[in-house]
Copies of this chain bind each other. A is one copy, B any other.
Amino acid sequence: MKTDLNENEDLSTQIAEAIRDAIIEGSLIVDQRLPSEAELCEKFDVGRSTVREALKRLAAQNLIRTQRGAAGGAFVNRMSFEEAYDQQITTSTLLLSMNRVDFETACEARYALERSCAPLSAQRRTPDQLATMRAEIHRQSQPGLTDEAFCASDVAFHRALVDGARNPVLSYQLAGAVEAMQPLMNMITYTQRDRDRIIALHSQIADALEAKDAAAANARLIDLETETLKLAKSAFAARR
């Protein structure tokens, strides 16, 4: 691990970077214990608060975890898919909400990515995942459902579709794309007719996946994208 620090960044930033690089490069491996705070103070020749701030930065990125007590300390964390999902969703959501990404762009990206899962999902989806989709479709058709709950169920449906590909890397990459759209989707008010059309498409998608018909699933996803775009357009037009 490098210990020479001479950039014009904060000391805590430099130390965090040095440790992070060591983890990425592999000289610190999973579950390995980092030197104690006191040792790091000596090594980098800085005060303890500086070291602690560096460690907190790494903890915020799920790169390390800390444990109190005698055999405690900071340990290189095995990044779990679960943690990576959450990070991915937070980042994507903020990225979209802070950069006035237009609905068309986000929607296009999302459906392009989802369609890439469809063929795999048609091959591999489990009965469990099909059941989840059906359950969400059923939830969506219940009367008195708020728009927000409708959107949440929509997300759950699409996640089941993506998970159907049985590829954790794919699920991870798509988590952000699907979830980050939710705030944008929430800006739409759905009439009962809108919902009916969406639900019908969802059913057709589930049918296609059940029949292992990748082409049909793909076609219905395109229809759904078109439908979503149309809804969004009129919603944003009405807003003005």
Contact = CB atoms under 8 A, between A and B. Distances in A.
Interface of A: 12, 16, 20, 23-24, 26, 30, 49, 52-54, 56-61, 63, 78-81, 84, 87-88, 90-99, 101, 105-106, 108-110, 112-113, 115-117, 119-120, 165, 167-170, 172-174, 176-177
A90 B57 contact: no
Contact of A112 (B59, B93, B116): B116
Which secondary structure characterizes the binding site on chain A?
Answer: helix
Contact of A116 (B94, B99, B113): B113
Contacts of A57: 56-57, 59-60
Query: How many identical subunits does the complex contain?
Result: 2
Contacts of A90: 20, 24, 61
A200 to B, nearest CB: 24
A187 to B, nearest CB: 13
Given A57-B59, A87-B91, 6 more contacts: A56-B57, A57-B57, A57-B60, A92-B173, A108-B167, A109-B167
